[in-house]
Amino acid sequence: MRIAMKLEVKDIVKGGKPIVCLTSYTAPMARIVDPLVDVILVGDSLGMVVYGFENTLPVTLDMMIAHGGAVARNATHAMVVVDMPYGTYESSKELALKNAQRIMKETGCAAVKPEGGQELAETVRYLVNNGVPVMGHIGLMPQSIEKMGGFKIQGRGDAGAQKVMADAKAIADAGAFSMVVEGTIEPVAKDITEAVNIPTIGIGASPACDGQILVVDDILGMYAPFTPKFVKRYVELAPIISEAVKQYADEVKARTFPTMGHCFLPK
Ligand code: KIV
C-alpha cells in the first residue's frame, strides 16, 4: 500500500473531503489505524476504555503522555492529536501552555485538544499564539459532566442552541484549527458547521460536519459497558477474541499446545 505524506495542521481543511478521525491509545492499534484515517486522537476516553474508570476525570497528564507517545511514534501518515486531561489547563493560560508544551515535546504529537467554549477562548488564543496548534472541543464536554449535570445532549431550546453556537464561534475566533462538536442536536451542529471557518469534527452531531470521529474500541465492538446512540459497531471483536482465548485455554489444559514445533530444540 502506498502511504501518503504525514498530514499536518494545514492539511485539515474545511470544504475538502470529509475528515476521517478515530481514537487510538496504543502502538499496535495506531499502526493499524494510521494509513486509513486523517487524524488519530489520543482521547482521554482512554480513562474508560483502557483504564476502566467511570469517566474521564481521573485521567492524568502522565497517562496522556505515555499513550500519546506510543501512538505518535507509530503514526507515519495521520496527524496525531492528544487530549489535555481534566485539571491541566482550566485554571490559567500559563498552566495550559506549560502542560500543552509538555504533551507536544514528550509525545511528538501535532496538536492538543482541551475542552471548552467561551470560557476557554483566551487560553486557546494564548496556546495558538505560543505555537501550540489547538483542536477545540465544544457541545457535550465529558470533563464537565459535574457542571453539565451528566452526559446531556447540548443545543436544545433557543438558549441551548445560542450557547453552543457562541462557544463554537469563540473557539474558532481564538485560532483553533478545527473543533470537535460532541453530543449536540443535529440542526445546531449543522448551523455551527456553516457558521465557522474551521472544520467541525462531529461525534453525536451531524452528517454535515466537516469530519467525523468515534472511539476505536466502540466501532470494533470491544467496549462492552455502554454503546451510545451515535456509535456504529462495524464488527463484534469481543466474541472473536473470547473464542480465541477459549481455544488457547482448552489446548493448554489438554496439553495440545505447545507442540514440538513451538519449542526450541538442540541443534
Ligand atoms: O476522549 C475522546 O476520545 C474524545 C472524542 C470522543 C472526541 O474526546
| Closest alpha carbon to 75 in 23, 25, 35 | 35
103 Cβ contact partners less than 8 Å away, ≥ 6 residues apart: 61, 64, 65, 68, 82, 84, 109, 112
Q: For position 151, what pLDDT does the model report?
A: 87
| Closest alpha carbon to 79 in 126, 24, 127, 28 | 24
Q: How far apart are CA 199 and CA 24, in angstroms?
A: 21
Binning pLDDT at 50, 70 and 90, where does residue 147 land?
confident
pTM of the model: 0.96
- Beta partners for residue 181, in sequence order: 138, 202
| Closest alpha carbon to 42 in 143, 138, 111 | 111
Q: For position 3, what pLDDT does the model report?
A: 53
Residue 63 in this model has a pLDDT that exceeds 70: yes
Catalytic hit among 106, 182, 186, 243: 182
Residue in 33, 182, 212, 226 to alter for ligand 1 test, most ligand atoms within 8 A of Cβ: 182
246 Cβ contact partners less than 8 Å away, ≥ 6 residues apart: none
| Domain residue ranges in the chain | 9-237
Residue nearest atom 8 in ligand 1 by C-alpha distance:
43
Give the number of the atom of ligand 1 that is nearest the alpha carbon of residue 182: 7
Q: Which residue has the higher pLDDT, 228 or 153?
A: 153
Cα(182) to centroid of ligand 1, in Å? 9
**CATH number of the domain at 9-237, please?**
3.20.20.60
Determine the average pLDDT of the residues in 254-267: 97
High-pLDDT (> 70) share of the chain, %? 98
| Closest alpha carbon to 199 in 207, 209, 208 | 209
Residue 136 in this model has a pLDDT that exceeds 80: yes
* 178-182 and 135-139 strand pairing: parallel
Binning pLDDT at 50, 70 and 90, where does residue 5 land?
confident
Cα(159) to centroid of ligand 1, in Å? 25
Residue 2 in this model has a pLDDT that exceeds 60: no
Residue nearest atom 3 in ligand 1 by C-alpha distance:
43
Residue 1 in this model has a pLDDT that exceeds 80: no
Q: What are the pocket residues of ligand 1 if the criterion is a CB atom closer than 6 Å to any ligand atom?
A: 23, 41, 43-45, 83, 180, 182, 203, 213, 215
Determine the average pLDDT of the residues in 32-40: 98
**What's the whole-number average pLDDT of the chain?**
96
Cα(260) to centroid of ligand 1, in Å? 46
Binning pLDDT at 50, 70 and 90, where does residue 146 land?
confident
Residue with cell 482521547: 43
Cα(16) to centroid of ligand 1, in Å? 23
141 Cβ contact partners less than 8 Å away, ≥ 6 residues apart: 115, 116, 148, 182
| H or E segment and range at residue 189 | helix 186-195
Q: Which amino acid is at 248?
A: Y
What are the backbone dihedrals phi and psi of residue 138, each rounded to the nearest 5 degrees, phi first? -125, 180
- Catalytic residue list contains 182: yes
Give the number of the atom of ligand 1 that is nearest the alpha carbon of residue 213: 7
* 135-139 and 79-83 strand pairing: unpaired
Binning pLDDT at 50, 70 and 90, where does residue 4 land?
low
Q: What secondary structure does DSSP assign to 28-41, as a single string?
A: HHHHHHGGG-SEEE
Residue 182 in this model has a pLDDT that exceeds 60: yes
Residue in 203, 212, 227, 230 to alter for ligand 1 test, most ligand atoms within 8 A of Cβ: 203
Residue 226 in this model has a pLDDT that exceeds 90: no
Q: For position 116, what pLDDT does the model report?
A: 98
Cα(56) to centroid of ligand 1, in Å? 10
Sign of dihedral through CA atoms 168, 169, 170, 176? positive
Residue in 67, 83, 86, 140 to alter for ligand 1 test, most ligand atoms within 8 A of Cβ: 83
Q: How far apart are CA 137 and CA 116, in angstroms?
A: 6
